[in-house]
Structure 1
Amino acid sequence: MRIAVVGCGVAGMAAARALARKGHVVTLLEAFQQPRPLGSGLLLQPSGLAALRQLGLAEQVVARGARVERLDGRDLRGRLIMDMRYADWRPDAFGVGVHRATLFDILHDGLESAGVALRTGVDVASFEHGAAPVLVDTAGARHGPFDLVVVADGSASRLRAQLRPDAKAPVYPWGAVWANARDETGAFAGSLSQRYDRASTMMGVLPIGRGPDGGRAELVSFFWSLPVTQMDGFLSGDLAAWRRRAVAMWPQAAPIVEQFQDPAQFSRASYRDVRVGRWSQGPFVLIGDAAHGTSPQLGQGANMGIIDAVELAERLGEDAPRSVRGFQAARRRHAGLYQFMSRWLTPMFQSGGWLGPFVRDAVFTPMSKAPGGRQIAARALTGTLRLGRTPKSLRP
């Protein structure tokens, strides 16, 4: 089958590799002349690692990332709000914090040897619909025809608006700035650590291994949550004053915070709440953030995109439109559950009022102590909550 994958991000590259491994003729189209990762660090869950294992890449990710065994979230008084441990799901379970550039390199390296034709500088703008669609880029060049088009161009997808004009993808009013730093003493090893000032300020530290350059120092990604409207002010503001505020809120993070001397060290991240309905339209199918983008509260963005990619390749048969309808029905029972949870959780961690953090503090701490509560929380954390059966090949 002739397949086009639009977008050279995590989901797109995973899909291209998974489909090529099944013997399809795959063309990966990317708008940038030089594909590059966006963002700082991310957390891969056991469910996503199971999908990477099907691509033969899990061992590389584990070796180059950092093992994460728990999520520890506390308020400014040090009171434990979030205590989620992978061992509550399985004794040997863990997540992997990884630099985005490291994951990008692992997926990107060997694309051509895997049978994927990578074409850069192709900014797909529209398509000529039909049984075998042709894609048209912004320069007017035509690409195709294809038997299937996999749309993986992110939460701000251009093609999604043409395929599913009723889809909604508003930008969350809150986002974050990210930067990487050295963890010289290993103080943050093994845990995604967060601190909350109600829900108006959230900061965290995620171990991500040694980074794409293979240096000697263990790295962490530091994030600071703030309204999207305040990002420009942060990046052009008084960083020294910000450092004093951050250290006052979280003294233990001082060795990390003091490494940030220039706003240029930070990258910005904004998020969309993507609501599409059906992901497929004839020989087109949306995957990853183009289909189900959410806030980062459950750490599932890259995870779900990789699972989409591998499961699509597993389910694809000779009748592409029929196959993708079955694929999206099955995947929505998984990703849709996390979209729902993320939608309700976000105001509890990123909002300006008192109600969200009040509900958070009143619910999560007692729930973590209730019978079975820790196990349910661990299932949510690992990405293994699913309505319906998980394909055998994707079971962690």
Structure 2
Amino acid sequence: MGVVGCGVGGMAAALALARRGHAVTLLEAFAAPRPLGSGLLLQPTGLAALKALGLDEAIRAAGARVDRLEGRDTRGRRVMDLDYGDWRPGAHGVGIHRAVLFDALHDELSPEGVEVVTDARIVRIESLAKPVLHDQHGRVFGPFDLAIIGDGAASTLRAAIRPASRAPIYPWGAVWTNASDPENRFAGALRQVYHRAEVMSGVLPVGRGPDRAENQVSLFWSLPVADLDAFLDGDFATWRDQRLTPLWPEAAALLAERNDWAGFSRAVYRDVSVGRWNRQACVLIGDAAHGTSPQLGQGANLALVDAVELAARLDRDLRPTAVVVRAWQDQRRRHTGVYQLVSKALTPLFQAHGAFWPLMRDLFFTPMSRWPGLKQLGVLLLTGALRLGRFPPETRP
């Protein structure tokens, strides 16, 4: 098996396949694989997939328990209030630094026999029925029984598999940074503050940082992609003191010792639409197949479930590989399709210019989200467990 991309989905697929006895080669474009981004929220579905990989306990120990999602506007009104306990007693998510999750997956690859080849940017796929992969240095890898393409929402290989695919950039992105929260003021919840729909800031507890520092949080600030460069060229102290502090003084206090933008990273998201994810024995996985806005925070979780369910399906289904992959995709789209659709519908309520969308949010979404039944549906969405059909045993949350 050949896997392209050393992200969450690619590494999880390589590990899941290797642990089921497959020979796996993982090809990574960078000379030194590295995680991109700051914190993420692992939902019960992602944790179930990590349990199937034998990594859930280590991740729970390194991360921070998250019991609810809270969102309020600058007038103090509660816009969102979702508690995992409304889905299942004791249920929770885990905030984790991306680098910590990356290391947990990456450290298992070599011991499980995965061959990791770095500085191998795949530029051409030959013979889709028995894929042969060519990198920028002219090296050739394969042929493989299956090529799994997990090179992210900005995939450079997606068009080779699905020429009619589309992946436009969402108009809104974000900047992220990590900070220390020694008094654990932000423990237990993902908290967000909104000014209409034009400003959204959030703080997620992530537990241990990559340097093993404890009580870490990830802070994000949402803004239009077109403004990212100008924003990061601006004066840091002016933004912190004149924009973040009036909006959310407790979050601004996390950055009190900062003098500049060092430690901030930018995030850009894509709305990926590909139709079928596979073409013969080549298949897209994770954000390369179904990337969406981060509004529901499901990207890494869906990629983990993709990987574990694909490996399990390949083991128990003895039909030709292309047929098995198509069956796996049909099953997965009953899950991923729900989140693509709902994420696209919800995004303008929290990231948009003007007064219309926040008015719709305040008049309809917020009151309705408190109704019995609809509140439980909201929690079901949050957990990642909303799926048309049952989860297979490997990923049942």
TM bucket (normalised to shorter chain) is over 0.9
Give the match for residue 244 of structure 2: 246
Query: 5 Å matches for 1:355-366?
Result: 355-366=356-367
Please give the alpha-carbon distance, in whole angstroms, between the structure 1 residues aligned to 2:70 and 2:256.
22
Please give the alpha-carbon distance, in whole angstroms, between the structure 1 residues aligned to 2:150 and 2:257.
35
Give the match for residue 372 of structure 1: 373
Please give the alpha-carbon distance, in whole angstroms, between the structure 1 residues aligned to 2:111 and 2:77.
51
Query: 5 Å matches for 1:283-294?
Result: 283-294=281-292
Please give the alpha-carbon distance, in whole angstroms, between the structure 2 residues aligned to 1:273 and 1:44.
21
Over aligned residue pairs, what C-alpha RMSD do you find? 1.0
Query: 5 Å matches for 1:34-113?
Result: 34-113=32-111
Give the match for residue 156 of structure 2: 158
Please give the alpha-carbon distance, in whole angstroms, between the structure 1 residues aligned to 2:363 and 2:105.
41
Percent identity of paired positions between Structure 1 and Structure 2? 60
Please give the alpha-carbon distance, in whole angstroms, between the structure 1 residues aligned to 2:257 and 2:71.
22
Give the match for residue 327 of structure 1: 328
Please give the alpha-carbon distance, in whole angstroms, between the structure 1 residues aligned to 2:344 and 2:51.
29
Tell me the SS of whatever aligns to 1:327: helix
CA contact (8 A) 1:163 1:281 kept: yes
Tell me the SS of whatever aligns to 2:296: coil
Give the letter for the 1:371 counterpart: P
C-alpha deviation, 1:364, in angstroms: 3.0
Give the match for residue 194 of structure 2: 196
Tell me the SS of whatever aligns to 2:111: coil
Matching residue within 215, 219, 226 for 2:216: 219
| 1:311-335 CA-partner distances (Å, limit 9, x unpaired) | 0001114421011000111101100
Please give the alpha-carbon distance, in whole angstroms, between the structure 2 residues aligned to 1:25 and 1:122.
18
C-alpha deviation, 1:31, in angstroms: 0.5
Give the letter for the 2:188 counterpart: G
Please give the alpha-carbon distance, in whole angstroms, between the structure 1 residues aligned to 2:276 and 2:360.
32
TM-score by length of 2: 0.97
| 1:201-246 CA-partner distances (Å, limit 9, x unpaired) | 000000000212222x301000000011111111110111101110
* Structure 2 unmatched runs, 5+: none
TM-score by length of 1: 0.97
Tell me the SS of whatever aligns to 2:262: helix
Tell me the SS of whatever aligns to 1:25: coil
Please give the alpha-carbon distance, in whole angstroms, between the structure 2 residues aligned to 1:246 and 1:370.
32
C-alpha deviation, 1:348, in angstroms: 0.9
Please give the alpha-carbon distance, in whole angstroms, between the structure 1 residues aligned to 2:266 and 2:128.
39
Give the match for residue 394 of structure 1: 395
Tell me the SS of whatever aligns to 2:69: strand
Please give the alpha-carbon distance, in whole angstroms, between the structure 1 residues aligned to 2:28 and 2:381.
33
C-alpha deviation, 1:131, in angstroms: 2.9
Give the match for residue 232 of structure 2: 235
C-alpha deviation, 1:110, in angstroms: 2.2
CA contact (8 A) 1:247 1:257 kept: no
Please give the alpha-carbon distance, in whole angstroms, between the structure 2 residues aligned to 1:190 and 1:280.
40
Please give the alpha-carbon distance, in whole angstroms, between the structure 1 residues aligned to 2:296 and 2:63.
19
Give the match for residue 266 of structure 1: 264
CA contact (8 A) 1:155 1:169 kept: yes
Please give the alpha-carbon distance, in whole angstroms, between the structure 2 residues aligned to 1:88 and 1:131.
47
| 1:298-351 CA-partner distances (Å, limit 9, x unpaired) | 010000000000000011144210110001111011001100001111111111
Tell me the SS of whatever aligns to 1:42: strand
Give the match for residue 6 of structure 2: 8
C-alpha deviation, 1:23, in angstroms: 0.9
Give the match for residue 338 of structure 1: 339
Tell me the SS of whatever aligns to 2:90: coil
Give the match for residue 312 of structure 2: 314
Give the letter for the 1:290 counterpart: A
Please give the alpha-carbon distance, in whole angstroms, between the structure 2 residues aligned to 1:312 and 1:239.
45
Please give the alpha-carbon distance, in whole angstroms, between the structure 2 residues aligned to 1:310 and 1:373.
30
CA contact (8 A) 1:181 1:259 kept: no
Please give the alpha-carbon distance, in whole angstroms, between the structure 2 residues aligned to 1:360 and 1:130.
46
